[in-house]
Amino acid sequence: MAYSVISDKSGKTYHLHNKVVTLKNTGKQQTIYFFSVKPEGSIDMPEGWQVVQNQRSGLPFLKRSTPKV
């Protein structure tokens, strides 16, 4: 089931997405997580992350809940 969150400030529903990018200098692949209002292609919540909302804008973002090993 795709993860979504409702903004406390605006009341809009945001859906979690991801994108795998390759870094130019090292060539390593990294997964970027972001929220969008479009539900198409949304994903489940990854393990070890938690959702936090920006207090000023109300936009959600992910923060690690467990330390990276």
Q: pLDDT tens across 29-54, in order?
A: 999 999 999 999 999 999 999 999 99
Over residues 49-64, mean pLDDT: 94
CA–CA gap between residue 32 and residue 7 (Å, rounded): 20
CA–CA gap between residue 51 and residue 54 (Å, rounded): 10
DSSP secondary structure letters along 32-61: EEEEES--TT--PPPTTEEEEE-TTT--EE
Of 20-24, 48-52, 64-68, which gets the smallest average pLDDT? 64-68
| pTM, 2 dp | 0.85
